[in-house]
Amino acid sequence: MNPSALLDVLAARNAGKPILHGDSRCWDAPAILQEVDALARHLADIRVLAVLADNGPAWVMADLAALKAGAVHLPLPAFFSRAQMLHALNATGADALLTDQPELVAHPDFGFIRETDWNGLALMKRKASPAQLPPGTAKVSFTSGSTGTPKGVCLDMTGLLETAAALATCLAGLPVERHLAVLPLSLLLENVAGIYAPLLRGAEIFLPSLKTLGWQGMAGFQPAALHRTVNETRANSLILVPELAKAWAMYMKAAHLRSPADLVFAAVGGARVEPSQLLGWRELGLPVYQGYGLTECGSVVSLNRPGDDGPGVGRPLPHVSVRIENGEVRIRTSAFLGYLGTASQTAKDEFATGDMGHLDATGHLHLDGRRKNLLITSYGRNIAPEWVESVLLAETAIAQAVVAGDGRPALVAVLVPANGFGKNDLATAVERANLALPDYARISGWTEAEPFTLQNGLATGNGRPMRTAILDHHAAVISSLYPQKESASALL
C-alpha cells in the first residue's frame, strides 16, 4: 500500500464531517490537512521527529505531518525515564521534538531549543548527528523494555498500512463507525489498529486525554472514567490490555452495570488471557476478542472476531505468514526493517518471535508461552508459566502474578492482591485456580507482594511484570516456600 494512502483517504473525505474528536474540538478532513501541511513545512529540513505528548488530535496530525514531510517519526512513551528518553533521542539522531512537556526536555543534556508552537505543542529543534537507519524507515518504535535500555524497532510505512488495511478488512462486517483510543498513542498497537485502520475504513476517532479515560500514571486506573467515556462517545470499538479489561469488568460487576450498548468490538492483547476470564467479561456484555501481535510485526498478527472466534489468539491476518518451527512461532511481514544499530531485515526474512505455539485444525493460532520462560520441574515436566499465571489472573482477587519452579518439584507464585482484597482472599483464589490446573501445574506455595511497577523496577512501562527482576527480588522468600531438604523422590 502506498505510504500516502492515509493522506489520500483524508483528501477524499467530505468537509464538515468530523473525523478526529479531541477534548475540546472536532476536526474534519480539510482542517486536518491544513494543519498537517503547516507542520510539514516546519519539518522540511528534519530527519527524525520525536513526539512526546498526550493523546489527542494533535498527536495524530503530527504523525501524518512527519509522513508528508518524509521525516522518521519517533513516538516517545510518557512512561519512559529521562535516561530512556535520552537514549531513544540520541540513538535515532532525532533533530526535532514536538511536546506538551517542554520543561521536561529543557535540560542542556537534551540540547533542544524551542522554535515555535503548533496546536498546543512546542516544536523544538537541535543539531544532531544522523543515525544509521535501515532504508525506508518511517517509524522507530521503542519497546517498553524488560531491561533498562529499550530496543528501537525500525518499521516501514507500507508494512504498517498493510496491517491496518488487513484489520479494516477483517472487521469490515462489524458496524464500527466510532473508535475510542484508550491506550497511549505512543504504543504501536493503538497507533496502527486504533488510528490507521479506522482512518482507512472511514470511521470517526475519539481521542480524549489519558486522564479523561481514567489513566492516573503510577496511581493506577479508574475504570469508572473509562465506562463514562465509552458511553459519552458512543464508541463502537476500542483496544484494551488484559489488566484494563479486568479492572473495567470488576467495576461493572460491583456497580451492577452492563457494557455500553454501542460497543460492538473490544480487542484484548498484550498478555495471555484465560478463556474462562473472557467468558466472564462477555457475561457482562463486553464484546471482548483476544488477539496477538508484536511491534516487529506491525502490531497485530492474529485476531479473533465475531463469527470466527476460538480459545486461542485468532486467525492470522491475510498479510501475515505464520509458521511453527520446533514449537516456536515464526512470522514474516513487510513492516519490520531491523533493530536500531543492527543489520537490516528484508521482507523475505522470518522473525523468530520467541513465543511457543501451534496452529489448530481451523487455522487459529494458540500460544504456549515464551521459550526463554519455560519451566522444567525436577519431575521433568515442561510448564509455560504464562499458562498458569493466566489461570491465576482470572481470579478477581489477584492483580498480578509471577510463577516460579524451574528445577523444583512444584510451582510457587509471587502474588499481588487486587485493591480491596487480602491474604485470605488470595488463599481462596489460589485454591480455586488449582482446581482448574492439572496436579503438576498447581501452586504449592505463594507469597504476597507489593505491586510490580515501573517505579520499583519490577514492571515495564505498560505494566508487564519483569519476570527475572521479580524472581531475583523475591529469591529468598521463594526459596523459603520449599522444604529445606527436598525429597530425593522428587528426582524420580
Encode pLDDT of 92-123 as tens digits. 999 999 999 999 888 888 999 999 999 999 99
- Which residues fall within 8 angstroms of residue 326, CB to CB, at 6 or more apart? none
Q: Please give the domain boundaries of the chain with CATH numbers for all domains.
A: 5-366 (3.40.50.12780), 374-491 (3.30.300.30)
Q: What would the pLDDT profile of 8-65 be if each residue is shown by its tens digit?
A: 999 999 999 999 999 999 999 999 999 999 999 999 999 999 999 999 999 999 999 9
DSSP class per residue in 386-413: HHHHHHHHTSTTEEEEEEE-TTSSSEEE
The whole-number pLDDT of residue 487 equals 39
* Type of residue found at 8: D
279 phi, psi to nearest 5 deg: -65, -40
The whole-number pLDDT of residue 148 equals 53
- Angle in degrees, CA 64, 172, 258, rounded to 5: 95
The whole-number pLDDT of residue 379 equals 73
Rounded distance between C-alpha atoms, residue 197 and residue 211, angstroms? 24
The whole-number pLDDT of residue 343 equals 64
Rounded distance between C-alpha atoms, residue 387 and residue 295, angstroms? 22
Residue 268 is inside which H or E element, if any? strand 265-268
3-state helix, strand, coil in the chain (%, to 5): 35, 25, 40
Q: Identify any residues that bridge with 415 across adjacent strands, giving them in sequence order.
A: 401, 448
- Angle in degrees, CA 343, 140, 289, rounded to 5: 110
Tell me the average pLDDT of the chain: 91
The whole-number pLDDT of residue 240 equals 95
Question: How many other CB atoms are there within 10 angstroms of residue 366's CB atom?
Answer: 17
The ranges of the chain with pLDDT < 50 are: 146-147, 218, 485-492
- Show the cell assigned to 458: 519490577
- Which residues fall within 8 angstroms of residue 380, CB to CB, at 6 or more apart? none
